[in-house]
Amino acid sequence: MIDNTTKTLLQRGMIAFLGFLVATSVLAQDGPQPRLPTIQLTAGMYVIQAEVAQTPREQTIGMMHRQTMGINEGMLFIYDSLQVRCFWMRNTLLPLTIAFIADDGSIVNLKDMAPKTEISHCSAGPVRYALEMNQGWFDKRGLKPGFKLRGKLFKPTDAQ
């Protein structure tokens, strides 16, 4: 018979192994993930159609292996908790700019990211959202940290 301690260790080992298999299969993926559901955001007069990456798998794959992205299209990463978030560009073919976004929709900071690199690009503080767009999209429209994006998921503040 197996005692409770051994049983617990075996269960934890199985969970860790399954996690490893999932992570390995994601990193080994050689094609883009199917298009994800979209949400509409606005940045002043500009309308953004953003695919929503909400599960850990969707977030890990992100824009990997995509060869094109429309002018006003992007990918919005939604997390359950506020944390400093870091992104890399492994297997990502397009140059991107990432906006790290506060709960009220305001841009915390922007980072340009070069394709096929593993440099970490991190938020300047804890955020729940990150939006990847074609590189230069925010700059060409004069959108800087502090600018508020609009969308039904962002929490309004008294000033809105």
Minimal CA–CA distance to 159: which of 92, 84, 112, 106? 106
38-69: b (≥16 Cβ within 10 Å) or e: eeebebeeeebebbebeeeebbbbbbbebeeb
The C-alpha atoms of residue 96 and residue 144 are separated, in whole angstroms, by 15
pLDDT at 134: 99
pLDDT at 156: 80
What pTM was estimated for this model as a whole? 0.80
Structural domain harbouring 17: 1-30
Which regions of the chain does DSSP assign to beta strands (E)? 38-43, 46-53, 73-83, 86-87, 96-101, 107-113, 121-122, 127-134
- Domain harbouring 98, CATH code: 2.60.120.1140
Task: Say which residues have a Cβ less than 8 Å from residue 55's Cβ, sequence separation at least 6.
Answer: none
Confidence check: pLDDT of 151 > 50: yes
On whether both 58 and 96 belong to a single domain, the answer is yes
The C-alpha atoms of residue 30 and residue 34 are separated, in whole angstroms, by 12
On whether both 57 and 108 belong to a single domain, the answer is yes
88-112: b (≥16 Cβ within 10 Å) or e: ebebbbbebbbbbbbeebebbbbbe
Show the tokens assigned to 136: 């230069």
On whether both 92 and 19 belong to a single domain, the answer is no
pLDDT in tens, 3-47: 666 555 445 545 555 454 444 444 456 788 899 999 999 999 999
Residue 150 included in any domain: no
pLDDT at 160: 46
On whether both 45 and 122 belong to a single domain, the answer is yes
On whether both 5 and 83 belong to a single domain, the answer is no
